[in-house]
Chains A and B, each alone.
Chain A
Amino acid sequence: MKETDILIVGAGPAGLSAGIAAAKHGAKVLVIDENRKPGGQLFKQIHKFFGSREHNAGVRGFRIGEKLLEETEALQVEVLLGYPVYGIFEDNLALYGSANGVQSVKAKKLILATGANENNLCIQGSTLPGVMTAGAAQTMVNLHHVQPGSRVVMVGSGNVGLIVSYQMLQAGIDVVAVVEAAPSIGGYGVHANKLRRAGVPFYLSHTINRIMGEDGVQQVELVELDHFKPVPGTEMILDADTVCMAVGLTPMVELARMAGCQMVEIPSLGGVLPLHDEDMCTTNPDVYIAGDISGVEEASTAMEEGRLAGIAAAEALGYLSTECAAQEKDAIRARLNTLRSGDFGQKRADAKEQIVNYFHQGGKQ
């Protein structure tokens, strides 16, 4: 059995940032990720990020990923890739896969940075080849350089839907529609404007009714919505060979559940997630969380939350003094507050504050 100070599950932006922050203060860190490559979703983010300089604003996502990997390597953080963590048991014992079968590791502290998984829609034809989540299409185009199709209908106009639509255009694919059930666009106006300038039609107050085709997607039926209810007689048919679903993400909380972390339901952050305090510590004092598992946001906030969890865990193990930790944590929280401000961020800031309040009230919702 292996032993480590801190076991981090997930080598995405949150997990790697947590590992770097904790290792910098001398903690022994092990990061495990079921994917064969580290970086989570960062390496498919080919667009320039928002934020300010300390958030790497203006830098393309994959370059931020490269920087994280360099730091991870420089600090000699051990990263195991390609095998999942199967479960967490008493005394922070975790079982994980390896080429030599299942192995166990005992950690003093755990940081769960497992991320989120994409929602889908259950509609007629949604199992046809050519229907996929937006993230899957993004992986095909940006990592594997394969076009999923030639005419895409994007369902959902949040930032994921908008960004992936733009990247489809960049890959030479036509986006024939961005469909949004709400009466207004969900994501940033500047992302939407890139698509508008390219002539992509937006169908607001519309949903996708069904997908038709023999051996794959051939046609997509849209219908207009009135207060989210379909209006009969407004059905229209578009020719398309690909449907991308960008209809939200849900935190991956299975391991947190196994670790006995108390949960709370916050629909605006993706649904059920572990209660946590301002240090990202859950109701299990040995388990911290960071990134999308603690509420679906974006890579910049995930990295800051990772740093916060990494410092808090290292502090709990005595690797840095309370004063020193407080100083670093305050700086991180200030940067998080900046990212969670403005027209879009304030709602997330409020929801995050609500979670911390529930935590201190003993989990009463």
Chain B
Amino acid sequence: MERTPGIPTPERLEQGPVACIECVQCIPCNPCEAACPQKAITVGAEITALPKLDGDRCNGCGICITRCPGLAIFRLHKHYTDTTALVSFPYEYVPLPEQGASVRCSSRDGAFVCEGVVSSVRTAPTFDHTAIVTVEIPKEHLMDVRGIQRKGGQ
């Protein structure tokens, strides 16, 4: 994952929950821009531009996560506790994981990274069937964990 303008800076990660937009190709798409109530995401008139994250404006609300058709937006909370971080990601499979469940957290290529605990599972009519799953994981895996392995799946 190269540096893209949607990835928060290391300094911003220290300061609390923040969106992490892993959008790396110039495709014509901009719903994330309108989704953000803080106006922290800018695509611009050329909607093929990569979304740019303003770390100062982003308050880590996570509304953008379910609005991205590419499921490419995550929320990272580095200092949830002294030892653990939170990673939130969009989830469109059934059954949804249960809050409090132990899960096998996986990387961008689906490989096992670490054990984690489901901290929350959010659904809402406005999410239109995309849930937001948040897992609590050891802090050092913040930039690696981007999903969970499904039971019975690969």
Contact = CB atoms under 8 A, between A and B. Distances in A.
A184 B38 CA distance: 37
Interface in A23-70: 47-53, 57-60
B109 A343 contact: no
Contacts of A343: 25-27, 48
Contact of B31 (A58, A194, A196, A197): A58
Given A174-B153, A193-B108, A197-B146, A188 B70 contact: yes
B117 interface: no
By size class, the interface of chain B is 35 or more
Interface residues of A, number: 34
A193 B28 contact: no
A318 interface: no
Interface stretch (A74-82, A206-214, A334-342): A334-342
Nearest to B29: A50
Given A174-B153, A200-B110, A200-B154, A52 B72 contact: no
Nearest to B109: A196
Contact of B25 (A53, A190, A197): A190
Nearest to A191: B70
Contacts of B34: 53
A169 interface: yes
Interface string B59-98: 0000000011111100000000000000000001110000
B23 interface: yes
A170 interface: yes
A49 B128 CA distance: 13
A197 B26 contact: no
Contacts of A342: 25-28, 48
Given A193-B22, A197-B147, A338 B70 contact: no
A267 interface: no
B69 A47 contact: yes
B109 A197 contact: yes
Contacts of A191: 70
B109 A52 contact: no
A143 B69 CA distance: 21
Contacts of A57: 29-31, 69
B106 interface: yes
Nearest to B154: A199
A57 B67 CA distance: 9
A237 interface: no
A49 B47 CA distance: 14
